[in-house]
Structure formats: structure tokens, C-alpha cells
Structure 1
Amino acid sequence: MCGIFGYVNYKVPLSVRQIVETLLLGLKKIEYRGYDSAGLCLDAIPLPSDHNAANDGPTPLVIRSVGNIDALRAKTFADPALSPAHLDVVVEHHVGVAHTRWATHGEVCEANCHPQQSNDGAFSVVHNGMMTNHQTIKTMILQENGYTFRSNTDTEVIAVLAEYLYTEKGIRRFTELTFHLTHFIEGAYALLIRSSHFPGELMACRRGSPLVIGVREPLAEGRLTEKRWGINDGKKPVEIFFASDPHSFAAHTRHVVYLEDGDIAHYRDGAIGFYNPPTTAAPALESEVSRRIHQLDGVLESLSKGGFAHFMLKEIHEQAGAAERAMRGRVNFVSGAFHFGGFSAPRLRSLREARRVVLIACGTSMFSAMAVRPVWEELVATPVAVENASDFVDRGARVGRLDACVFISQSGETADVLRALEGCREAGAVCVGITNVVGSSVSRMTDFGVHLNAGTEVGVASTKAYTSQVVVLSLIALLLSQDSRALKGRREAILQGLSELPAKITQTLHDVETPIQEVARQLQNESSLLVLGRGYDYATVMEAALKLKETTYIHAEGISFGELKHGSLALVDPAMRILAICSDDKHAEKCKSAIQQVSAREGRIILITNYSDPELTTACEKLILVPKIVDCLQCILNVIPFQLLAYHTAVLRGNNVDCPRNLAKCVTVE
């Protein structure tokens, strides 16, 4: 959930000001992930006239601030060590790190910001993840040996542990020290470690949390090896970026190296070596590995609001284009033929012959799986289950070689999904990935998969990715059932609906904007809402409630109409505002009956529907009409009014719509 950024310039003359700006810009590019504080660490560069500068390596300058990147910028340029004269000093080689923090251990305060330092200030660490055994190491090893702590973070324990290994254990090689350090740590992490004991060097470590390296040309193309040192021979100029998200350096380079789980990368003298030491044995220096350079072509785009007030509103209005891109090149609406690049005949057969299909996801992605489960069960002659990834892991749910597991994650880095994926891989299940980020962990760890092509989604509250997930999963269901003659008519109806979908999304946005703004004004001061639906729209009301909670901070609960009499009907009274969906499908009469029961108890209903009915008009306080489409895709049109309602209500309440409190775009910590 935090953001990591590191920058190295080697034989590339830059002023200190340029280096600081690069670090701040790197953080700025990933602030959409969510954070509450930020910091950076660079060398305190002496002036050329300063003859008293220390000769035993540069002194680290750590600057930290609660708040946004602008607050960190102001504090950085106000620091006495970064006077105009210091900022104008040109250096050919420098290693800097920066970080945005989302609190996990310790409150939001400057002392808990990253980078965290060792007691002697020699080690500086930025960290994304959660060290689960930090308290044990802190009390039983470090405090027992006289070390003290200034913060409440697990990250400071890592920095102090590095000092302990260097000072008390006498480990004086940076690689060996880092091997031992990571051997102590339990839990998931991405780490950057720099030390004044090893000037001009940097260690990057990954286990269970994303970390990617960007290399700016000139570079040695091809395969990178440890042999001194793969990326560069130490003679050529090079700029190297270390980040939790490639957006942070996309403006500089498209050449990337993805660190694999357990990797440790050692930067020194313009080059990088890669290691992957075993976790079950003593650290071994003979664990060199090679990592390939990848090219990011057309994957990352500039993050612009494009004339909209917020990214969330922009992304709501991009859903027609996102749906079209999700289908482009994958389905021929004339012939009914499908083409998925990753679905070779053997892979397709492994899906069709699976004993069962398990759709595994969290949050909005899980609701997209719930939305398509009915059509999968209808079209695919295989039992289909939807699993919450964290619950799946907690239960130790069993899968086997005859199962197909589909992992759905917008970012491809969701911690719970990755944990579930690891277990399913070990069990030998067929693993399929559905993600919006090329090169993400899900895309690399699964056997094959589909890229959503939704475009970068910045708003924490997912909108267009949800639509794209429903479209892609519907396409896969059609692909798996294409040999069934009995389902020919149904498949043709769904294909017709998919062909109409982009235009229907555009029409929906046009039709509901004004009435939804009126509803937002009515609901902005509410403290609790019920959202009711059934059938294909059970997932819709769950997703609608999540959007309202995320952005408005109003308690909202998604409930199936079928569950009302099992307890939830007790919540209905004249003060409770109720949002409901009733679509013209096989569940319409049951939905209408439930609406009348709510109305009889003086419930005040605002209804989203795709047809006019006098009984609904009488029972409901307000009706908002959306266009009609084939039943299994109606959920996409029905969710749009709720997305807009969540957005407009949040704006009226003065909330940060794109970065809601306490939430992050990419949940990389369990």
C-alpha cells in the first residue's frame, strides 16, 4: 500500500536539485495509490569549498513529512542542508530513495515516516509490507543488546537489525548482510536499503510485495547476469530506477526488470547483481540468478484528468471505451468467432475439462466474479464457485490438479490474491489471471490469462476495471461454450448485447446524470443506506454498497431481496433510505413483491430499473430509468447510476474522491 521509489545516476552529471526533483516526481506519479506521509533520503552533498567534509563516506540526509508530496517538497527545499548553493552542486554518481507511507504499524506522525534509520544513522530503509515478527526481534534481540527505538514501525526494526548485524556480528559485505537480514524477516516486504558504510550502493529486496527496476539507456540489452554486473560494465552512463509501481519512472524509460519473489538486487558501480537465496537454509552467496529486461510498450499512459474534476468521474465516463477495448480483437460479432492470444488449444481444453472453476478475488473484483457466476453456470457445464481470496487462504481451501482457478485483480498485486495463487500453484491447479497491469505478479505467476485493456485506473474506487472484468469474464464463458448447439440462441443474444454495450453505456451516462445529482443532494446527510437487488443484480448491489462506503463514508449494506425476511427487514422504517434495483428479467416479479413489502413498512425507495411499471411507480419515492440490454449484462448498466451517486455524494460531503481516507489503490499488505 506504500509507494517505494529509488533513483541512481551513474556517470550522468546532475545537480542536487535535479536529483531531488526526480525523487519527488517519482513519488508524485504514484501518489494515486494512497498515502498519509512521505519522505526521502539522499547524500548531504558538501560544497566544493567545504574542506572539512567527512572522508569516510557521505552523510545521509533524511527528510520526512506528514501530508502530501507538496508538503514534503516544501520541507525539503527549506532544509538548511539544501541551500541554493548546495542544490546547484553537480554530482556524477548518487543513490537516493523516497517513500510514501500508508500507516500499518504506528500512528501517522513524522517519527513513523520512512525512510527509517538505524541508531547510528548508517542504515536507511524504505519498506512496503508488514514484518510479522518485528516485536520479537525488537525485544528479544535488539533491545536486549541496548538498541533503542524512536518510532513504532516495523521498518525501524529492519534498519536497527542491519546495524546489529554489521556492528555486533561483524558482517561487512553488503550482500551478505542483506541475506542475513532478510533471513530474519517474516512476512511480506519490498525493501530498499542504503548505508553510509557502503556509499554508492543500494540493496533492493522483494518477498510478496511488488518491486520493479527501470533502466534508462544506454544499456546492455538481453539477459542480465550477476557477473559484474549485467546491466552495465561500469564504464557507460546509466540511470536506474527502483519502484513499487512502474508508473513512477515511465516518463524516463520503458526498460524494466521484474524482481521475482525472494529476489535481492545489489546495485554498485553502475551495475546490478541478482540473487535469490533460499529461505529455509542459511543464506548462501552462491545464489546468483539472471533476470531478463522487459519492454513496456503502450502499457503505461500519462495520468491526466482530461478536463474532468476528478479521476473517478473521468474513469466512469471511460467505461464505454474500456468495454470496447476489452472486446477488441477477441470477438467477431458477425461470425461469432473468438480469439484470445493466451488461450491455446491445450489451455482451452484444460479449462473445459476442469472438474470445477473457482473464481478468486477481493473487493470489486470479487463482485465482478459474482456478477458473471450466473452466466458461467448457465453456459459452462462445470460447477463454478466464487471465493473471497482472504477467506480462501484462511480456510486453507483445497484445490487439485483437476480444478481451474481464475484470479481476478485490477492491479495484479493484491496480496490476498497472490497468497491464494501461490497455494493453487503448489496444488497443481490450472491458474488463469485476469488483470489490468501487464507484467504484474498475477500475470507472471499464472499459466495464462487475459489483460483487461481498461487503461490505467487512478481512482481508488474502481469503476471501469469492474466493467471490463465483467465483459472479459463473459467473453470467456462464451468461448468455453461455443461448441454447444443447445446454447446457440442464448449465446447469440449475449453476443448481440455485447455488441450494443458501449453505446448503451454512453446512453446510460447521459440519461442518469441529472437525476442522480438530485438524489445525491437528498442523500448527502444520511448515515446509513440499504441497497437491494436480486439475481444478476445481487452482485450489483454489493458493488454499489462498496462504492458508497468507499467514497461517501456512509454505511451502506448490499442485501439480496431474498434475504429481507431473514432479518434485514427489521431495519426498514420511515427514516431509512433504500436504494433498489428491479430489472425486467425472470426475477422481476419477486423483486416487485419485495419492493411492495418494503413500501408497506414506509420504506423510502429510490429505484433503478429498465422498465416502466405502475406498481413500481406507486411503491417507490423515485424511479431512475436505465436502458435495457440482455439480462446477464444489465448489471453493467445498473451499476453506473450507483457509481455516479457515490461520486456526487462524496463531492457534496467534501471528501477526497480519488483517494478516500484509509484506503489505497493497490492492497499489497494483508
Structure 2
Amino acid sequence: MCGIFGYILHRIPCTTRDVLNVLLDSLQRMEYRGYDSAGLCVDDVKSKKHIVVRSVGNISKLRERVFSGCADLDFNAQLENHEGIAHTRWATHGPPSEANCHPQASNNMEFVVVHNGIITNFMTIKQMLLEEGYHFSSDTDTEVIVVLAEHIFSKDHSISFADLAGKVMAELDGAYALLIKSVHFPGELIACKEASPLVIGLQNGKSNGTASGIANGSVMNKLFFSSDVASFLPYTQEVIFLEDGDVAHYSKGALTLYNDATPVSRTSQTVDVSPEGLCKGAYPSFMLKEIYEQPESVSRSMRDRIDFNTREVTIKEMSDGVRTTLLSARRLMLVACGTSFHSCVAARPIFEELLPNISITLENAPDLLDREPRIGSDDVCVFVSQSGETADTLMALQYCKKYEAMIVGLTNVPGSSVLRLSDFALLLNAGVEVGVASTKAYTSQVVVLTLLALFLSKENCSGNSSHSHGGSQSPIQKRRLEIIDGLAALPGALSHCLKCTNDVATKLAEELCDAKAILILGRGYDYATALEAALKVKELTYIHTEGIHCGELKHGPLALVDEHSTIVAFCPHDKFLGRSKSAIQQIKARGGRVVAITTEPDAELVSATSRCVEVPAIVDCLQGIVNVVPLQLLAHHLAVRRGLNVDCPRNLAKSVTVQ
């Protein structure tokens, strides 16, 4: 949720202004993660003291505070070496205020830290330090880190920075990524990771780092430390992902990594992420851009995984051994939170149809953690997370891993924790998604889960080969081919849907701008669509919106319907159409206004609804991917009409890295 950033220069001439601009620009590239305040710390060239600048609000306010209100800094001072840190905060302990912003400093400004995560035992540490005579200036759990560091250093001035960091980590419980500076260790920086993402960007005097690895003590000209690769993409794509327990110690050009006080080596890798994804281009918002990218993003998700000429699905990343284990599983569990959970709801019936011999279950990650159900070594647990860093999903993953279940990870972020902790992992390849409200990642999640089900179900086919268009086919084989043909048609259907529904969504946004509540109904394959559409509307518009299974209407929600009610109903021409029409008639009888999303606006639907929105038809189990598009557009346009920030809804974060 928070974003941390560190920028190190070694023997590279620049000015203080240059350093500040890199810090501020990099924070702006993490704005999509969500935040309520921000701050940074650089060193004054003359006094060698830490200069901390903090501000409540957006990065623009921090930038103004830095360049207009910081008389202590000489912006044109010439530097060759520097270590700067910066932070975007999302309040967890203490309200948004300047005192609670990061960086947090120790009592005498001897140590300064930026922190992402939660220290669960901070009250115990704080009480101990209060008894030792220290004081605290904030409500945060973060402040105890640097006050503790100051306390430990006061007992032993000969301790090294790396050893000091190890002693601090030994006292902390919880999840954290830390960057620590100290006046006692000029030219040095400490980075610590425990259950919270932290990555190092490498640039050795080139536009992009290209080393295949890094040895301890390697001299680097530029280093970037961050909770998010996106923050430093314009500078380098060569990275090291730190592991839990790692301490990275930078000292005067040399980088050394430790784990449990023992030097370790971590291999660097090149992340295949385009910096262009961080630009809105001609679009007014990232979300609208990402909605319109969906024809291309689902195509990227399928690229090199499906051949539409031969109608073959191939997942090259999966070994025969992994495939055998998956197919011999007693149970396949789909585990996720939020939008990712909805993608699992959408994919579950496809797995059930194509893999009838495996029990398919669905788990909300926080609920799984609360219940602690029995997990066995014959279970396969599929964890879906856009960011790959969702705290509840990662904790559920660790729980299942403890009981030796096979772990499969699906995420959109290369090098993320879900990918690294999985026995087998698949990237969505949807491209960078910046908008907090997920759109293209959702549709790509459904597509990749569908590809996984298709690939695993090959052995369930008998009769002709997969490219057969006729002759003797098993029911599963026939169904597989229908779905493959549906995937082939999907990008075109999405493109057509975007063209034909945007104007309707704009008009609907005008009509619903003052709505107090919206109900969204779906059933069958569109139950997931109703859940996801409702989430998009409530996330962006702050209108109470509920996604309901049509069959549940009579079991309570119908009491909400009157002449002031607005209901959106998904009514594709599938086997559930009759029952969906029945639900609409019940709403109409009570004066409710219904907007139908349908593949064929027949006379009965037209007469029973106030508006029919026609969408292109594809195979029934993938129809929801198309049907969700007009609701994504509606959510966007409604938020714009209500004067709201589309890309950064209040109280929400893109990457939920704390429980």
C-alpha cells in the first residue's frame, strides 16, 4: 500500500536538485498504489545533516514544499555521491498528518527510516523505549524502528550498520520493508525485507543494467531501492528481488547482501515491463486507457499459449511433472481476494466442466485464513493476485504451503512474491495496470485460468484430434473446441463492445449520477460478472452497489426494490435467460427500473426494461468477459460525472500489502 524509494549515486556528478527530482518523479510513478501523504530525506552538503521534508496530500504538494519551503537546502550544490530516501504513506497507525508522514526520525535525528508494512509488536517496543527515557513524536508503528536503532547504537558505538540492522530486525515482528539512513554511517544505506516487497534496481553507468548477477561488494554507480519496479523503470530494468530476512548494506559504492548475518548472493534479472504502460497517452485517466487496452491485453495473455489454427493449447512453462501432479490432485482450490476472487468465480464452472474428476473449490483468502481448513499434499492451490503482493493471499499461500499442497500462482507482475513462492507460476502478460480499480487484469485473469483448464483437460478428450471440426467427439472435446473458438473471437468481440457501448454508458452515467444505490443481477456464468461490475461501481463512484445472484433476489434483496430503484441485469441468450427474465418481471412489478445487458434485445426484454444494452455474443462461458465492459465504462463515466478521482479512489490502494 505504501511506497518506499531509495536513490543512490556513486561518483556521478549531479546537483541536489537532480536528486530531489528523481526522488519525486519516482514517487509519482507509485501514486497508483494509493497514499495520503508523502515525504523524503536528503543530506545537506554543508552540514551533513539529514533534511526531512513531509507533506499531507499528493506528490505535487510535496514537490512544492521541497522547492518553495526548504530554505536549508542548496539546490545547486554539486554532488558526486548521495543516498536519498522517499515514501508515500497510506495511514494504518495514526491519521494522515505531517507528524505521521515518513521518513520518521529518531529522537536526535541520528537515524531516519521509510517503512512499508506493519510492526505488530510496536507497542511492546515503544513501552520499553519510553521506560529508557526516549520520546515519540508520531502515532506510527514506524517511529519505534529508528528510536530502537538509536538505542542499540547508544550501547555500542563500534557496531557496523549491517549488524545494527540485524539487531533491529531481530526485535521486530510483522511485515516490513525498510530503508534506513544515519548520520553515524555517512555514505551508507540499509535495506531490510520481511514479508513485504523490496526490489533493487541496478544501473552501472549504463542506460540499463545488463549484468547476469551481482557479487557481494560489487561497485555500482547507481542503485534504486523500491517496493515497486514501476518507480525506477525509466532508469533500469535490471533488478534483484530481495528475500525475506535479507539485509542489503550499501557502503561507499559497494553493495553487500546478508541473511541471518551471513553474506548471501542474489541473482539479478531483467524485468520485461514497458515504461510506456506508466503513461496515459491521449486518455484522461489510466483506467479508461486500460479498459480500451483489453482487446490487446487478452491477446497478449493468449500469445504463445494457444494456436487457433490447430486449436491446441500449450503452456510451455509447465513441465510434464507439474502437469501430472495437477491432474492427479484430489482437489483444486482457487484462492484470491477482491477482483481476483471474482475472476476465480468466473473460471470455476469452466474447470468443473473440463475437469470433472477433480473437485474444484473456491476460497476467499482472508476467510481461508480465519477457518484454517484441512489442506493436504494431494491438493493443488491456485493463487490469483494482480500485484502478486496481496498480503492476505500471500499468507493463505504460506498456510497451504506449510501442509505441502502444490502451489500455482497467477499474477501480472514479474518477480512478485506469489510468483517466487509458487511451485509453478503463470504471468498474465496483461501489461502494467496503474488504475486502482482493476479492469484489464480481471479479463486477463479469466482468460489465463481458462487456458489452464483447457491445457489440463487434454487427457479428458477421446475421439478425433483437437483440430477436428466434425466426426466423433467426446462431450468434453466438443466443449473444449467451443471455448477455444470463443477465445479466438474474444479480442474482436471486446473491440466491438467498446465501440458500441461507450455512448450508452455515457448516457447511463448522466441518468444515474444521483443514484443512492444500484443492484446488479447475474446468474450462471454472469454471477461473477455481477459481483465484479458491482465492485467497480462502488469502488469508483461511492454509490452503494451490490452484486446479486438472480436466484437470490426473492431471498431478501427484493425488499430493497421500489419505484426509485435502479437494477442492472445481465441477460445473455443462454440457458439461464428464462429465469433471468422472470427476475426482471418481479422487479418491474414493484416499480423498479431495469437496465438489461444482453446479446439479443428481444421484444420481451425491451418491454420489461427501461433500456437494453446490446453486446456481441460469444461462447456462453466467456460471455461475462464481454458483458463486464459496459459496466467498467459506466463506473468510469459515473465517477467522472461525480467529480471523483478515477485512478485513485478514496481509501483504496492498488497493492494491498498489509492485512
Structure 1 residue 168: Cα displacement:
4.5
Determine whether 1:317 maps to 2:282.
no
1:99-138 aligned within 5 A: 99-138=87-126
1:172-187 aligned within 5 A: 172-187=159-174
Render the CA deviation track for 1:37-93: whole Å, top value 9, x for unaligned. Answer: 1100011111xxxxxx5xxxx21000001111111111111244455xx22221111
Cα distance in 2 for residues equivalent to 1:3 and 1:97: 11
1:78-93 aligned within 5 A: 78-82=68-72, 86-93=74-81
Tell me the residue number matched to 1:538. Answer: 527
Tell me the residue number matched to 2:55. Answer: 65
Matched position secondary structure for 2:306: coil
Matched position secondary structure for 1:340: coil
Q: 1:621 aligns with which of 610, 632, 644?
A: 610
Tell me the residue number matched to 1:632. Answer: 621
Matched position secondary structure for 2:500: helix
Structure 1 residue 245: Cα displacement:
0.7
Determine whether 1:209 maps to 2:200.
no
Determine whether 1:163 maps to 2:146.
no
Tell me the residue number matched to 2:368. Answer: 392
Render the CA deviation track for 1:436-463: whole Å, top value 9, x for unaligned. Answer: 1111111111111211111101100000
Matched position secondary structure for 2:639: helix
Tell me the residue number matched to 1:12. Answer: 12
Cα distance in 2 for residues equivalent to 1:299 and 1:352: 35
Matched position secondary structure for 2:278: coil
Whether the 8 Å contact between 2:56 and 2:98 is mirrored in structure 1 is yes
Tell me the residue number matched to 1:276. Answer: 259
Tell me the residue number matched to 1:251. Answer: 234
Determine whether 1:96 maps to 2:84.
yes
Matched position secondary structure for 1:96: strand
Tell me the residue number matched to 1:280. Answer: none
Structure 1 residue 261: Cα displacement:
1.3
Render the CA deviation track for 1:561-614: whole Å, top value 9, x for unaligned. Answer: 111121111111111211111111111111111111111111111111112222
Whether the 8 Å contact between 2:52 and 2:103 is mirrored in structure 1 is yes
The range that moved more, 237-246 or 356-365, is 237-246
Render the CA deviation track for 1:119-141: whole Å, top value 9, x for unaligned. Answer: 111110100001111122212x0
Letter in 2 for 1:292: T
Determine whether 1:330 maps to 2:319.
no
Cα distance in 2 for residues equivalent to 1:582 and 1:361: 27
1:136-155 aligned within 5 A: 136-139=124-127, 141-155=128-142
Whether the 8 Å contact between 1:221 and 1:293 is mirrored in structure 2 is yes
Cα distance in 1 for residues equivalent to 2:515 and 2:156: 60
Letter in 1 for 2:362: V
Tell me the residue number matched to 1:281. Answer: none
Cα distance in 1 for residues equivalent to 2:506 and 2:110: 55
Determine whether 1:424 maps to 2:400.
yes
Matched position secondary structure for 1:224: coil
Tell me the residue number matched to 1:351. Answer: 326
Structure 1 residue 268: Cα displacement:
0.6
Matched position secondary structure for 1:111: coil
Tell me the residue number matched to 1:40. Answer: 40
TM-score, normalization by structure 2: 0.95
Whether the 8 Å contact between 1:2 and 1:100 is mirrored in structure 2 is yes
Structure 1 residue 222: Cα displacement:
4.2
Tell me the residue number matched to 2:648. Answer: 659
Structure 1 residue 635: Cα displacement:
0.3
Cα distance in 2 for residues equivalent to 1:375 and 1:338: 15
Cα distance in 1 for residues equivalent to 2:555 and 2:577: 20
Tell me the residue number matched to 1:50. Answer: none
Whether the 8 Å contact between 1:2 and 1:101 is mirrored in structure 2 is yes
Q: 1:352 to 1:220 in 2, by over 3 A?
A: closer
Whether the 8 Å contact between 2:343 and 2:528 is mirrored in structure 1 is yes
Letter in 1 for 2:638: T
Whether the 8 Å contact between 1:76 and 1:82 is mirrored in structure 2 is no
Matched position secondary structure for 1:265: strand
Letter in 2 for 1:473: L
Q: 1:221 to 1:313 in 2, by over 3 A?
A: closer
Whether the 8 Å contact between 1:165 and 1:171 is mirrored in structure 2 is no
Tell me the residue number matched to 2:187. Answer: 200
Cα distance in 2 for residues equivalent to 1:460 and 1:264: 30
Cα distance in 2 for residues equivalent to 1:313 and 1:291: 38
The range that moved more, 360-369 or 441-450, is 441-450
Cα distance in 1 for residues equivalent to 2:436 and 2:70: 37
Cα distance in 2 for residues equivalent to 1:107 and 1:5: 22
Matched position secondary structure for 2:312: coil
Tell me the residue number matched to 1:49. Answer: none
Structure 1 residue 220: Cα displacement:
9.3
Gaps of 5+ in 1: 47-52, 278-284
Cα distance in 1 for residues equivalent to 2:447 and 2:158: 54
Structure 1 residue 324: Cα displacement:
0.9
Cα distance in 2 for residues equivalent to 1:324 and 1:568: 38
Cα distance in 1 for residues equivalent to 2:489 and 2:70: 62
Cα distance in 2 for residues equivalent to 1:563 and 1:347: 39
Tell me the residue number matched to 1:267. Answer: 250
Tell me the residue number matched to 1:585. Answer: 574
Tell me the residue number matched to 1:341. Answer: 316
Q: 1:502 aligns with which of 491, 504, 508?
A: 491
Whether the 8 Å contact between 2:213 and 2:269 is mirrored in structure 1 is no
Matched position secondary structure for 2:444: helix
Structure 1 residue 426: Cα displacement:
2.0
Structure 1 residue 471: Cα displacement:
0.7
The range that moved more, 103-112 or 161-170, is 161-170
Determine whether 1:221 maps to 2:208.
no
Structure 1 residue 169: Cα displacement:
6.2
| Deviation beyond 6 Å, 4+ runs, structure 1 | none
Whether the 8 Å contact between 1:171 and 1:177 is mirrored in structure 2 is no
Aligned CA RMSD, in angstroms, stands at: 1.5
Render the CA deviation track for 1:359-393: whole Å, top value 9, x for unaligned. Answer: 11111011001001111101112111111111112
Whether the 8 Å contact between 2:210 and 2:238 is mirrored in structure 1 is no
Whether the 8 Å contact between 1:44 and 1:61 is mirrored in structure 2 is yes
Whether the 8 Å contact between 1:390 and 1:417 is mirrored in structure 2 is yes
Tell me the residue number matched to 2:560. Answer: 571
TM-score, normalization by structure 1: 0.94
Letter in 2 for 1:26: S
Q: 1:263 to 1:116 in 2, by over 3 A?
A: same
Render the CA deviation track for 1:183-216: whole Å, top value 9, x for unaligned. Answer: 1111111110111111111110111110000111
Cα distance in 2 for residues equivalent to 1:171 and 1:108: 37
The range that moved more, 504-513 or 288-297, is 288-297
Tell me the residue number matched to 1:646. Answer: 635
Cα distance in 2 for residues equivalent to 1:355 and 1:300: 42
Matched position secondary structure for 2:307: coil
Whether the 8 Å contact between 2:277 and 2:431 is mirrored in structure 1 is no
Count of residues paired in the alignment: 642
Cα distance in 1 for residues equivalent to 2:276 and 2:244: 26
Cα distance in 2 for residues equivalent to 1:596 and 1:171: 79
Whether the 8 Å contact between 1:299 and 1:438 is mirrored in structure 2 is no
Structure 1 residue 172: Cα displacement:
2.8
Letter in 2 for 1:252: Y
Whether the 8 Å contact between 2:277 and 2:433 is mirrored in structure 1 is no
Determine whether 1:450 maps to 2:426.
yes
Letter in 2 for 1:275: Y
Tell me the residue number matched to 2:517. Answer: 528
Cα distance in 2 for residues equivalent to 1:110 and 1:26: 20
Letter in 1 for 2:548: I
Structure 1 residue 13: Cα displacement:
1.6
Matched position secondary structure for 1:194: strand
Cα distance in 2 for residues equivalent to 1:392 and 1:142: 37
